[in-house]
Structures are given as C-alpha cells and as structure tokens.
Structure 1
C-alpha cells in the first residue's frame, strides 16, 4: 500500500504546488482565515470526503474511514499567515498588502490536502480511520489547537503526527527529537509610570527611559544568575517605546518581551523573578511599574515511542544518514496541546530553497519539493501505525 500511496503522491506533486502557490498569494491572518477554511472545505467536499468546518473557530476537520477496522490516526496542518509584507520577487508573491505566508503554513496545507486525497483513493484497502486536522491561528496565542481539541477534533484518535517545513534545513532531511522539541512561549508587558519634565531639569523628574534602561539590564541577568545552567531559558526584550520630543524627559515607557522555557518549574521561576526585579526597580526609583505576564503555548513534548516509530518510518524512506536527531529549539508551537491529549510526535522536514531566509522573514520561501517528502513521511506513519 505504501508504494501505491507514494505513486499517487508523486503524481499529485504539481497539484500540491498549485495549491501552495494559490494559498501563498491569498494569505489570511490568524482568526481571520475564512476564505482559506472555505477553500479547504470545498477541496474535501468535491472529493466526497466527510468534512466539518467551524471546528473551534475557523478549523476544518476531514475524516476518511478505511475498509477494515483499525486505529484512528490524526495528521495536522496549520493554515494562518503573518502580518509581514512579502518582499520576494516571485510570480506567486502575496497579493494582500502587509500579509504573507512567512512560515510555510501554505505548504503544510497543500501537503495534507493531497495526502488526504491519496489516502481517500486507497481507503477501501486500508485499515483504521484517518483524521485530517486543518488548524487555524497557530501564529497568534491563544491559538487554534486548544479550541479545536475542545470542539472534538481528537475524538477517538489514538495518535497524532505533524511536521513543520523548515527553511534552513536541507531538503531531503528529517529532524526529530524525543521529549521536548519546541519551547513554551510566553510574553510580558511592562508599563513604567514616572514623572516627566523638561530635559534641562532632570532632577525634577522620574525619567521613565532611565528607569526602563535599568530594568532591561537587570532582566538580562535573570537567566545567567537565577536559572540553573543545566536548564534552558531565553528572555528577550522586543519592544521599548517612549516617544517624546528631544528635550522632554519621558513620563512613561512601555517594554515588551518574550520568555522561552522547557521545564515548567523554570517557567514559574522566570515569571516570579521578573516580577521581583520590577518591584525592586520601582522601589529604588520611587515610581509605579505595571506588569502583565501572559502564558502562551506550553512546550512541545514528543512521546518517545511515537518518535522512535516516526524515526523508523523516515529511515525506511530516506535512509539513516538524512534522518537526524535534532536539539530542541526555542520557537513555540501549539501542536503542544495535541500531545497533551494523545500520543504523537512533531518533526521538522527540511525545505531549504536556493536562496534561504529564516522563518518570519519578508523574503521567506521554501523548496516546494519538501512538501512531497513531508506527505510521504506523514502518510507512511499513518498507514504503518495500523500494524
């Protein structure tokens, strides 16, 4: 059956590219993916496949039942875009100003659609049931995975598999990791309320910029001086805003940043210690500092048995030299929520183009041939999990 599946996928590659480029030209932001969801629905409906829309929001779930009893395996692809201006010089450049697929979700969707079509065409000879989860809003917490799960997308599912096309990893490579593979992704916002005034009389003010600068430097010591060096954590300041005339001392300033961790105890530690640093700086400068900490996605923690199984599946397709155990990375993914409910694993499929750029870059692109490898790997995993 695997040979028949691969033949169908090889024949479907050109259609896979067509779908990916259509989606790339017509991106939609998180929680606004109505046309994309309709496109996915229509694809399945035209094939006569059972499909449900509005799952947890804009999510779409299709199911294909095999001709024989077996396990229920879920495969997931996300389909939201990012608020980034597409700067590539390609025929399939985004037609929506300020919005583009800068993370490969268009490729994920095209991959899963054509894989579902191939499995549907073989379903009478297959065992079990196959659930195709098309998830909205991965890019923006609280994300689409959790509400889709709450709406029943994992009902009856025995295992789940997912992949991410990775633009800086060579095409033809599969990267896997048992246990944590992607980090918990949190954000924090800080508002400093000082006392502004004339730039010529700083002694009469409480300078929000100076206070904020102290805060930034103190926060940078948390990982090096509060976190066990055996553990991992990242604290990054992404925004520091205090917009004033050149001769005005800032009355207020806003700081935003992110924290990435794997260990839940370190996650708690970082949130607590940021608050303590803020309290200390506020006390030392006799000012008010407001602080909010928003927990985003938990860490993606792969199940060992399913990860070892996926590794074996990938090696049978590619050979052992190009199936590589990778180190965990600090990016976030709400695939984590699925793995908290059912066994499964999440892996990276190399998709490095001729002119590579990192994810979330205005010139991001993928080697589209990687979609075919992703489809074969996910498809093989789904079929062989029935054994």
Structure 2
C-alpha cells in the first residue's frame, strides 16, 4: 500500500471524529481576535496526542497556533493553513449543533477547516518518518476582521524557512465532489472607508439658511459610480459599495452631518490604487461644490490573492493524478469576488488557495455569511484528502 493510500485509509477511519470536532466548534464560535477558547481547544487537541510536534501558541497575542511536523530529514518546508474565527451573525439554521453563543456563528466554514486540519495534522505526524522536510500547520485566527490574523502570524515569523503555503476553503454554493483551482489573481483586494460629511443644519422650510449634508452625501454616492465606469479599465474588475448612509433625522430638519461607510474591491493593485485616489478626489469635489467638510477615514487592507502559477499547477497535477473517491472533477474556477487574508501569505511566499465544493443535499444551499449557512460534512474528508495528497507528493522520499 502506498503512503497516500495509507493516509486515505487512516483519514476515512477518522471521518466521524472529524465531523464531531466540526460540530463542537460550530456550537462554540468566537469572533475574530477573541478566539481564546477555540485556540485552547486546538492546543489541547495536540497536547492530548503523544506526537512529536512543536506547538507555539498565542502568536503575537492573537491566538495563532503553529504546529511543526519535522520528518528529521532534509527537504522543503510546506505550510498548510486553516482559519478558525466566526462571524457576528445570529444563527438561523435549526441545526442540532447550532451556535450556543448569541449573535455569533460559524457562517463561513472555518469550523470545518479546523476540524479537517486537526485530524489531517495528527495523521501526517503519525507518518512523518516516511516523508522528507517539514510541515508547518498554521491555525490562523481572525480571517474575517481587518487587519486579519495572517498579518500577526507573519510578523511573528511563521513563514521563516517556508517554501510554499497551501490553503483550502469549503464553498457552500459549489457542488459537492468538485475541487477548484486557478492560477494568478483569484480573490479581490479590499479597502473600506468611513466618511463624515459636515454641513450646516436648519429648518426644512428655509434651506437657503442651511447647508444640507444629505444632499452633499447623495451627490457623493452618485459620483462614486463614475469612478468605476469612467476611471477603471472595462477589462479590470472594480466595485464600490455604500453599505451604510446614516442620515436619519426629523422630516422637517435639514441635517448638519451624515456618516457613510463604503466597501471597495478590485482584482488588481493598480485598479485599487486608482479607486482609492479617485474616492479622495470626489471628497474634495464635494467639499468645493457644497461648502461642506469631508472627514474621510480610509483603510486599505487585504491585497489581491495571487496563486503562484507554478505551485498551483503542481498542486493541480497532483490532484488530477490521485484517485479521490468522492471527487468527480478538478476544475479551473473563475475569479471569486470576496477578499481573503490568505493573500498576505501569498504576498510573501509562493502559495495556492484551493476550493472544495460543500453544497448541502436535500435542502437549500445558502451563501457564506448567511444566517442559514451550512456545509455538507462529506466535504471535510475531501478537504483532508486533497490537502493530504499535496503534502505527501510534495514531501515524499
């Protein structure tokens, strides 16, 4: 029996435990940068196993955990990453293992990421004598909230000596049994902003004596769309969304101040730079046109997620040449609009980010960040076998 067959056999025997771990974590979600009990659970998982691994906890005081599996033989170092934070969402799934923490939910699948990774790491450690080099397992906090947990882990030195990094995300709207990859840019960069427009309040009957912040804010919202339609190459991707316009007041009172919050996405750093600069120009134009003051708090965070072409091709070929019982196809995916802080690892080290279909059966499939989000738990074993295949072929003697 080949090493990969041994790995698959061991993982299949542990599938039930993988699902149990996922359900426990789903019941006990924690928000970004506050995942203290989840981090403790992960550390305790490794302490309870008599494995020759090194666990470094509380990386940079942000709950990050690195598990090092050293074969004791020279070779490359491959890092594999799973995130474990949840979202500020009230769960509405009616699952028997639904969240017990009010207003907090694993609505993105990070509970599944952690469950498969724990069992996979345990199993790889048991087989390390048949490998070369090292595996670093990154249990990463705070993927959902800027500046992102990857930043702290990188500052703490997690990438020292690492040759490549691989990550997987389960996808609730992608068919079970399909695995997706893509070379180059695959997920968007993100910026966000908060704009306070300060005018002069007054009575609704006397607009000439006031300076209406709502009118100025409305003009700002309209002008923003010209940034995308007239400043960005039509073949490049850019999106600007105003998610909040706080102008609530009385029907007959002219507002002296409004607060807007917006989201910016792009599929290239060049496009993001243009959008960022143009939004600031629009603010100056609104100030000049309406005599208001624009107080702009603008933050640029997650970069474009770039899959290294050579490493991505290597991973895809490994998967295409591996018999995976539950996998029907390995396919190229179109770019995926949301942002992902795995991009910080990919900025520093050639990396690849892969997607595993996790669509539920016999009920509606809801998107990520939805109160009724759920994943097909059969995808956990697929994730483990996919990542395990990459690790084994990467580090095999």
What TM-score comes out, normalization by structure 1 length? 0.97
Q: Which residue of 1 aligns with 2:48?
A: 46
How far is the alpha carbon of 1:148 from its aligned partner?
Answer: 0.3
How far 1:321 moved relative to its partner? 6.2
Out of 378, 387, 392, the position equivalent to 1:369 is 378
CA contact (8 A) 1:356 1:365 kept: yes
Query: 1:143-154 residue pairs with structure 2 within 5 A?
Result: 143-154=148-159
Query: Which residue in 1 is equivalent to 2:387?
Result: 378
**How far 1:318 moved relative to its partner?**
4.5
Give a deviation string over 1:36-85, Cα, whole Å, max 9, x none.
00000000111133211011321011111125332211100000010000
- Is residue 186–residue 294 contact of structure 1 (8 Å, CA) maintained in 2? yes
The answer for the alignment partner of 1:350 in structure 2 is 357
With 363-372 and 194-203 compared, the bigger mean Cα shift is at: 194-203
Is 1:7 matched up with 2:16?
A: no
Contact in 1 for aligned 2:324/2:385 (Cα 8 Å): no
Cα contact 1:302–1:339 (8 A) shared by 2 = yes
| Structure 1 residue 203, shift from structure 2 partner | 2.2
- Aligned to 2:353, the other structure's residue is in SS state strand
- Residue 325 of structure 1 is aligned with which of 332, 348, 356? 332
Match of 2:133, SS state, is strand
Query: What is the rounded CA distance, in whole Å, between the counterparts of 2:49 and 2:72 in structure 1?
Result: 17
Distance 1:84 1:314 in 2: 35
1:280 and 1:343 mapped to 2: Cα distance? Answer: 42
Residues 165 and 370 in structure 1, CA contact (< 8 A), matched pair in contact too: yes
Gaps (5+ residues) in structure 2? none
**RMSD after superposition:** 1.4
Distance 2:205 2:170 in 1: 55
**In the alignment, structure 1 residue 127 sits paired with structure 2 residue 132:** yes
Gaps of 5+ in 1: none
Runs of 4+ in 1 over 4 A off after TM superposition: 318-321
Q: Where does residue 315 of structure 2 map in the other structure?
A: 310
* Distance in structure 1 (CA, Å) of the matches to 2:85 and 2:135: 23
CA contact (8 A) 1:44 1:50 kept: no
Task: Figure out how many residues of one structure are paired with residues of the other and give that number.
Answer: 387
**Distance in 2 between residues matched to 1:50 and 1:291, nearest whole Å:** 45
